[in-house]
Each structure stands twice: as structure tokens, then as C-alpha cells.
């Protein structure tokens, strides 16, 4: 049987060889954390390389994602479908081994990490999902949800603000099955971090309410194993294991230095490392005895088979719960009646014809859909009374572990990163809310959601200068463009309750990416529609008021400005068409015939109206068209005064149309 040192050296060799062949990468972290990884993955991690999506597997997150060759080495060695050819193709086009781990590319990679701090926030979300799902489904003698979330992270992750936000909440929520390993090597790309990173990390995490295990030698396998056992035994708090390591361990001349952090070691140094580690094997060569000792397929298949037996017993004892678990977790399906009942609610909204703020319409939709969706879990980064995310069935998970509402506190970035982890874990449809302006705090996590193509519902209220007296710090201008131009993000800005309900339905059904729902603070008029127009809302843009004959001009508007467009059209006469476009992303995805029927190319006299930045709209109105929008920041004043001041009036819309 190979020694633990030899097994860990397999990671070191693969990492330095792959980085060298690619001529780029980060060999230092994988070489430094190899001993910790060997203990965790061979002795503790519950997983099945033959089925990377087994529902009750432990989750492993490499938050210091620049050290990606660590996880690629582990996945290859333990038996995942990641052949050696993929490691040799590290960082090359279309390989399964991109520069940073990417969800969906590599079997066994649980989340896309690269932006430092993202991974630990995702891990917090996964641990929340595990704890909540366990409380909802486990019954005495039947623990079908019972797994840990492990996370490796480095100094850079701990410097990023998102780690403070997410880890603070993790301590408050008592996430006892979250175990993090701090790679305390004292090095970042700029050098020794003691010039810019000197806080007491163990004390910081103790202040969060974490269980902290200090001063573990990350190269002492016995000490690491003992620390993991102690972490697993602490069920009321998340655990931080502080591991002192040497970055680039095994490199005689570059270990302990930033020289091995973000650059290949070089052929001469790799040769010296091979000699130092007593690793006489050729690049990308793993001896059979070491490969056999690493492979976890048989062990993992056995663990999953045991779980299958447990689930069969659970089915016999609790058939209805088991069927619900299968629907939500194993199949990821919506309740069979959801779409029918959602459509009935949309029809009801149209018939009620209420003049309400779209944020209130959003709350009404949550109320209606929450009763249909036991998998719905949501929250707000504070401001729940303004974002209107609470509904009659909301139960905070801080008081009831089986609840469905998360009070995130003022943590927009942390909330969004945690949402990503909840979605990646599975078993939930989750939403999170803040003011539209503060999407900026969360921007990177929102982008990661789109990059991974995972379902999240981002609820953004107070969507324009209509926010009013709080002034330009709280009034979004460019944010809608930001969201609409993010690949794989679908953004909705509804004009009334019917469009809001349709947007919510779309967001719940959509599983291949995130949706941003953008709502007003101020009240909006209900709009008259036929049944066919209500149905066409789902196409993202539709004719709300048509002209008599071929239109001479087309007004395009969204959200609070649709009512303005309708009023302007009344003055302009029967030759004007009004198009409501609640989702430009969805409209753009329609077939060309439908888009031409709504926006005929022959009609060049077009004006877009939206209290957001003008530049986005020229793709729809053309350079010969006009845009009534914003080119500056807002001001502090009542919303109605601001709309007049910035030209969102019937008179200005009419003037703009007539000027074309």
C-alpha cells in the first residue's frame, strides 16, 4: 500500500505537469493542499465517481479556484469520467479542465469558482439547502438527507468581502454540516500577505459563531484527520479548520514563495521537485498501485447502494414524502398542476384590474405561487417590508429549520452567492430581493448564476427615478442594460399586475438560467387586454394598442412607462401602435415572423420610453428613432416631480414622435 505522502505526491505531480504543459496556471495551492485533500477525499468524503449527481453525496467546493488542478487531479484519481488526456489538455479550448473549475464542464465540479470568495458563499448556500431539506424530509429512523459540505479556501477568499457576509450568516444559522479548510500559506500573487492581511482569522470566525480548530499542520495527515473528526462531531456550528501549509510544497527552490503561486515552475524546478518528492515517474504517469489506492468507485457505488436501501425503507414508511422528494430533488419537476393554476392566477389579475405598484403585484404572485410550490424558498437582503417578499406562508429558517424564508440581513452580495449554492444543491426554487440599485453590490454573484446556467429568481424593486426622495444613490439608471446584456440572464420589467404574474410564472418554470424581476415602488395603472394579448405577454413583447391600418409610428415601453405610452398614443391618434416589452430577452428569442409582426421593419418612426439609460434602446428604434430615457443620474425629489423634470410626460413623448 502506498504511503499517504506518495498518494499526495500524485496530486503534486499532476498539478505541476499540467500547469507546465499549458504554460499557465497555479501549481502552488494544489501542491500545498495535497495532503489535506488526500485525507478528506480518501477517508471522509461521501461521493460516487460513477454517479456525480447522487443526491446525498457530500459537496466539495474549491473556493480558491485558481488551484483548479487540485480538483482535476482528485476527480481523475478517484475515478470520475475525467481521463488523463483531459488533464494533459489543461486550460485548452473545449477541454473539461478549464483554467478555473466550471460547473457543467467537468463531472464532479459542484460550482464555478474563480472569483475569490464565491465558492465559500456557495458552500454556505449548499449547507443551508442540506439543513433545510433534511428538516423538511427526514423522519425518525429515516435520515435520507444527511451529508456534509466541505470547502477549501485561501487567504484571497478571506480578504474578499463576500466571505464576511456569507460566513457571518452561516454562524448565525448554526450550519453544523459546513466544514471549511483555510489554506493558511501566507502568500498571494503580490507576495507575503503579512503586509496587507493581518487580522486574527480564528478570532474572526469565532466571533461569527463558528467552531474553530486552530494550528493544524496541513502536511500532517493524522492531525488533519483528527480535525475533520472533531468538525463532524460539532453539529451546532460550522467549523473552520485552520491549516498551516507551505505553498508549492515539494518545489525545492520556489515553495513558500509567490513564485509558485500563479506561474509554471519551469522544467528545471519540476525535475528538482521530482527528485525531492522521490517521484521518478514521467509526466502524467501514475503507477498502478497508487492509481488503485486512489480509486473510489467501488466504495462510492457501495455508499450509494446503501442509501438506495435507506430510501426504499423511507418510501415504505412515508410514501407521500418520498414521492415529493423524488419530484423535487431527484427529478426537479414542478407540481403537475402548477402551470394550469398559474394561468388561472394571471387571468384573475387581469380581471381584477388593480392599480397597484408592481412590487405589490410581485408579492401577490409569491402568495399565489408559494401555496403551490413547497420547494419555494426566498428572502431579502433586509428591506423585506419594502421589497414585499414576505407572504402569509413565510417561515424563517432561523426559527424553524424546515422553513422557507431567509432573513439575509444587509448582505446583497452574500445573499446572491448563497442563492447560487442553494440552487446548485437542488431541491429548491429560490428567490432573493433587494433594491434594484443594490444589484451592483451583488453583481459578480448574479453574473456567476448566469454563467453557470442555474435557476435563481432575483427580485429587484424600486426600479427607476420613481424611487424618488432617496435620490440618485438609490435610483438605478444603467442597471437594466447591465442585466439585459448579461448572457443567459432573462430580465422582466412588468407594467402591471398581469405582466408581473406572467413574469413570475416564467421565472418559476425556467430552469436553465436565472431571471431578474424588476418592480416599481410607485403604483401603476392596470391595463386593458384581450385574452390573446394576455397570452402574448409570455413572448416578451406584444402589441398592447394597435393602430388603425399600418402604423405610422410605434411606441415601445416597459414597466411604469407603458401607461405613459398609452396616454401619449391617445393624443397622437389612431395611426400609432403601442408595444409593451416587459422582457427584451424573451422577445429577442421569438421567431422572426412574430418579431416582424410586432415591430414591422417598414415602420422606422419608433420611440422607446423607459426611465433608464437610453443607449440600450437603439437596437429596437434604430438610429433614426428616438428614446425618451435617462442619460444622467437622477435627483432627490418626489417621484412624480422627477418624471416631469426628466421628460417623462405625454407632451415630451408626443414632441419626440413628431420630431422624427
Exposure string over 57-74, b if 16+ CB within 10 A, otherwise e = bbbbbbbbbbbbbbbbbb
Given a contact cutoff of 8 angstroms between Cβ atoms, the answer to whether 202 and 212 are in contact is yes
CA–CA separation, 213 vs 343, rounded Å? 53
277 appears as a binding residue in the annotation: no
Clarify whether 412 is annotated catalytic. yes
* SS3 (DSSP) at 141: coil
CA pair distance 225, 235, nearest whole angstrom: 17
Known binding residue 133? Answer is no
Q: Is 462 annotated as a binding residue?
A: yes
Residue 276 annotated as lining a ligand binding site: no
66 annotated binding-site participant: yes
Residue 474 annotated as part of some ligand binding site: yes
How far apart are the C-alpha atoms of 643 and 647, rounded to whole Å? 6
Is 26 marked as binding a ligand? Answer: yes
359 among annotated binding-site residues: yes
Q: Which of 485, 490, 487, 504 is nearest to 368 (CA)?
A: 504
d(CA 171, CA 194): 26
Per-residue burial over 596-631, b if 16 or more Cβ lie within 10 Å, else e, is eebbeeeeebbbbbbbbbbebbeebbeeebbbbbbe
Residue pointed to by grid coordinates 415601453: 557
219 is in an annotated binding site: no
Task: Provide CB contacts within 8 A for 641, sequence distance 6+.
Answer: none
Q: Is 115 annotated as a binding residue?
A: yes
* Residues contacting 381, CB < 8 A, separation 6+: 408, 409, 410, 411, 412, 415, 432, 433, 434, 438, 442
Is 443 annotated as ligand-binding? no
Contact yes or no for 229/235 (Cβ under 8 A):
no
Task: Exactly one of 160, 375, 412, 538 is catalytic; name it.
Answer: 412
How far is the C-alpha of 321 from the C-alpha of 139, rounded, in Å?
A: 10
Residue from 550, 545, 547, 576 nearest 562 by CA: 545
Tell me the binding residues for substrate. Answer: 26, 261, 359, 386, 462, 470, 474, 521
- Catalogue the active-site residues: 412
Tell me the binding residues. Answer: 26, 66, 114-116, 155-156, 185, 187, 261, 359, 386, 438, 462, 470, 474, 521
Tell me the binding residues for thiamine diphosphate. Answer: 66, 114-116, 156, 185, 261, 438
Tell me the binding residues for Mg(2+). Answer: 155, 185, 187
Amino acid at each position: 500500500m502506498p504511503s499517504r505522502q506518495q498518494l499526495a505526491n500524485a496530486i503534486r505531480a499532476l498539478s505541476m505537469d499540467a500547469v507546465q504543459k499549458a504554460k499557465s496556471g497555479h501549481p502552488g495551492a494544489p501542491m500545498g493542499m495535497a495532503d489535506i485533500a488526500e485525507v478528506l477525499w480518501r477517508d471522509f468524503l461521501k461521493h460516487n465517481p460513477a454517479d456525480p449527481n447522487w443526491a446525498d453525496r457530500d459537496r466539495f467546493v474549491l473556493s480558491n479556484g485558481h488551484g483548479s488542478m487540485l480538483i482535476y487531479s482528485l476527480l481523475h484519481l478517484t475515478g470520475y469520467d475525467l481521463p488523463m488526456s483531459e488533464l494533459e489538455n489543461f486550460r485548452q479550448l473545449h477541454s473539461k479542465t478549464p483554467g478555473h473549475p466550471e460547473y457543467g464542464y467537468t463531472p464532479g465540479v459542484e460550482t464555478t469558482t474563480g472569483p475569490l470568495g464565491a465558492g465559500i458563499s456557495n458552500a454556505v448556500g449548499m449547507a443551508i439547502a442540506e439543513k433545510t431539506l433534511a428538516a423538511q424530509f427526514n423522519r425518525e429512523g429515516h435520515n435520507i438527507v444527511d451529508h456534509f459540505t466541505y470547502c477549501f479556501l485561501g487567504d484571497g477568499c478571506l480578504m474578499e468581502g463576500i466571505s464576511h457576509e456569507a460566513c457571518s450568516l452561516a454562524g448565525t444559522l448554526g450550519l453544523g454540516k459546513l466544514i471549511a479548510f483555510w489554506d493558511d500559506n501566507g502568500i498571494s500573487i503580490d507576495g507575503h500577505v503579512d503586509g496587507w492581511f493581518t487580522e486574527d482569522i480564528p478570532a474572526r470566525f469565532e466571533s461569527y459563531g463558528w467552531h474553530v480548530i486552530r494550528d493544524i499542520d496541513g502536511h500532517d495527515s493524522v492531525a488533519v484527520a483528527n480535525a475533520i473528526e472533531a468538525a463532524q462531531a460539532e453539529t451546532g456550528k460550522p467549523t473552520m479548520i485552520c491549516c498551516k501549509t507551505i505553498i508549492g510544497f515539494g518545489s525545492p527552490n520556489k515553495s513558500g514563495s509567490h513564485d509558485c503561486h500563479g506561474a509554471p515552475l519551469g522544467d528545471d524546478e519540476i525535475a528538482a521537485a521530482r527528485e525531492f518528492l522521490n517521484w521518478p515517474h514521467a509526466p502524467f504517469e501514475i503507477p498502478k498501485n497508487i492509481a488503485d489506492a486512489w480509486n473510489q468507485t467501488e466504495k462510492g457505488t457501495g455508499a450509494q447502494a446503501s442509501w438506495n436501501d435507506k430510501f426504499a425503507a423511507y418510501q415504505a414508511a412515508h410514501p407521500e414524502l418520498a414521492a415529493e422528494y423524488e419530484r423535487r430533488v431527484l427529478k426537479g419537476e414542478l407540481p403537475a398542476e402548477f402551470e394550469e393554476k398559474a394561468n388561472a392566477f394571471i387571468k384573475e389579475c387581469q380581471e381584477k384590474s388593480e392599480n397597484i405598484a408592481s412590487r405589490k403585484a410581485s408579492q401577490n404572485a409569491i402568495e399565489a405561487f408559494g401555496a403551490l410550490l413547497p420547494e419555494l424558498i426566498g428572502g431579502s437582503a433586509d428591506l423585506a417590508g419594502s421589497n414585499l417578499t414576505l407572504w402569509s406562508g413565510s417561515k424563517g429558517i432561523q426559527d424553524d429549520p424546515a422553513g422557507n424564508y431567509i432573513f439575509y440581513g444587509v448582505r446583497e452580495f452574500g445573499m446572491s452567492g448563497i442563492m447560487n449554492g442553494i440552487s446548485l444543491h437542488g431541491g429548491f426554487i429560490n428567490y432573493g430581493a433587494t433594491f434594484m440599485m443594490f444589484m451592483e453590490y451583488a453583481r459578480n454573484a448574479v453574473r456567476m448564476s448566469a454563467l453557470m446556467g442555474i435557476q435563481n429568481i432575483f427580485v429587484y424593486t424600486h426600479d427607476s427615478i420613481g424611487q424618488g426622495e432617496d435620490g440618485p444613490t438609490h435610483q438605478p439608471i444603467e442597471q437594466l442594460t447591465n442585466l439585459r446584456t448579461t448572457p443567459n440572464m432573462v430580465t422582466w420589467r412588468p407594467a402591471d399586475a398581469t405582466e408581473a404574474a406572467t413574469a413570475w410564472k416564467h421565472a418559476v418554470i425556467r430552469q436553465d438560467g436565472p431571471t431578474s424581476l424588476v418592480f416599481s415602488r410607485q403604483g401603476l395603472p392596470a391595463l386593458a387586454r384581450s385574452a390573446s394579448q394576455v397570452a402574448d405577454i409570455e413572448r416578451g413583447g406584444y402589441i398592447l394598442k394597435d393602430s388603425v391600418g399600418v402604423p405610422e409610428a410605434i411606441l415601445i415601453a416597459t414597466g411604469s412607462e407603458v401607461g405613459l405610452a398609452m396616454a401619449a398614443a391617445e393624443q397622437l391618434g389612431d395611426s400609432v401602435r403601442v408595444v409593451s416589452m416587459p422582457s427584451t430577452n424573451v422577445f429577442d428569442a421569438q421567431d422572426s415572423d412574430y418579431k416582424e409582426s410586432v415591430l414591422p421593419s417598414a415602420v422606422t418612426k419608433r420611440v422607446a420610453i423607459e426611465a433608464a439609460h437610453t443607449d440600450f434602446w437603439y437596437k429596437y428604434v434604430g438610429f433614426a428613432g428616438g428614446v425618451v430615457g435617462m442619460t444622467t443620474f437622477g435627483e432627490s425629489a418626489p417621484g412624480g416631480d422627477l418624471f416631469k423634470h426628466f421628460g417623462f410626460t405625454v407632451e415630451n413623448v408626443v414632441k419626440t414622435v413628431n420630431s422624427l
